[in-house]
Amino acid sequence: MLIDTHAHLDFPDFSSDLDGVLDRAAAAGVTRVISIGTSVESSRRAVALAEKYPQVFAVIGVHPNSAHEAGDNFIADLRALAAHPRVAAIGETGLDYYRLPGAQRLRGSPAALGNETPGDIDAALADGQRKSIQAAVFQQQLELAMELGMNVVIHEREAWDDTLDILRPYSGRLHAVYHCFGKSPAHAQQLYDLGHFVSFTGIVTFKSAGEAQATAAEAPADRFMVETDCPFLAPVPFRGKRCEPAYTRHTAEYIAHLRGEPLETLAARTSATAETFFRLSR
């Protein structure tokens, strides 16, 4: 009844017990799982898993944190992979300014803020180059999605305005889901207005996640989905442990409670949204 719309089943965390992981998901009512690629190789592994397991579908793409390693042929490689009938969308793609090397360096040494060393300045310049590469790799994947008539899974971190600026010209021509959504209802409204969607991970169950909770409580019933982003971001009460698709249920129960509706209602609506967005019933 529930669909985990964002899992990284190809990660080594699951290499020894994936059958058990998927059995536990089914037992928890999580009957389908979308496995998301983060590079061409990871996307290839996601497609192989979708071939092996009837309840698994693949999304193929290059994550912004891997954009600088994408190589020259990644679009041709993704296009070839997309011909596979179990490929459900393009992604995850987008912009991530949080994990840029220079940004990490400055975060690591707060004393350096306003008092940067030449090394910090080099790192900031390198960040500028990384940002342009991310933007180009993102835009090429949007073009590919348009060409293939597919939707897009977006990863955005500390890059809200730039991500929207790149995405805006595609409004009405493709739909995007902002995964792991943690921003305010007003931010989400900007996405709904452009025809896009949000999805919530276990973060929504954290005490500190007031904005995500407000957005989940108010989101139009046909504009959001649920996910784990496993192996990361296990919801309460598993916080800090390896996350797995079964825990989609905890996140869904939490959001249903926030919205004052039965889990069955939320499961039916979010699954219908995911089926359409990812074209699962083709």
Which residues of the shown chain bind Zn ion in the complex (CB under 5 A)?
229
Nearest partner of 204 among 185, 184, 180, 187, judged by Cα: 180
Q: How far is the CB of 120 from Zn ion (least distance, A)?
A: 29
Q: How far is the CB of 10 from Zn ion (least distance, A)?
A: 11
Determine the distance from the C-alpha atom of residue 179 to the mean position of all C-alpha atoms in its chain, rounded to a whole number. Answer: 4
Instruction: Name the residue nearer to Zn ion (CB basis): 92 or 123.
Output: 92
Q: How far is the CB of 157 from Zn ion (least distance, A)?
A: 11
Instruction: Name the residue nearer to Zn ion (CB basis): 3 or 123.
Output: 3
Q: How far is the CB of 38 from Zn ion (least distance, A)?
A: 7
Residue nearest to Zn ion (CB): 229
Q: How far is the CB of 6 from Zn ion (least distance, A)?
A: 6
Q: How far is the CB of 109 from Zn ion (least distance, A)?
A: 28
Strand bridging mode 152-157 / 197-200: unpaired
Q: How far is the CB of 131 from Zn ion (least distance, A)?
A: 20
Instruction: Name the residue nearer to Zn ion (CB basis): 96 or 229.
Output: 229
Q: Which two tokens stand for residue 204?
A: 């929504």
Check if the beta carbon of residue 57 is closer than 8 Å to that of residue 34: yes
Instruction: Name the residue nearer to Zn ion (CB basis): 10 or 229.
Output: 229
Check if the beta carbon of residue 88 is closer than 8 Å to that of residue 57: yes
Q: How far is the CB of 179 from Zn ion (least distance, A)?
A: 6
- Kindly provide the b/e burial profile for residues 215-244, where b requires at least 16 CB atoms within 10 angstroms of the residue's own CB: bbeebeeebbbbbbbbbbbbbbebeeeebb
Instruction: Name the residue nearer to Zn ion (CB basis): 86 or 155.
Output: 155
What does the DSSP 8-state code read for residue 231?
T
Instruction: Name the residue nearer to Zn ion (CB basis): 74 or 105.
Output: 74
DSSP string over 66-92:
GGGG--TTHHHHHHHHHTSTTEEEEEE
Instruction: Name the residue nearer to Zn ion (CB basis): 94 or 102.
Output: 94
Check if the beta carbon of residue 134 is closer than 8 Å to that of residue 96: yes
Nearest partner of 75 among 124, 147, 163, judged by Cα: 147
CB atoms within 10 A of CB 139: 15
Instruction: Name the residue nearer to Zn ion (CB basis): 93 or 271.
Output: 93
Give the Cα-Cα-Cα angle 280, 190, 38 (nearest 5 degrees). Answer: 45
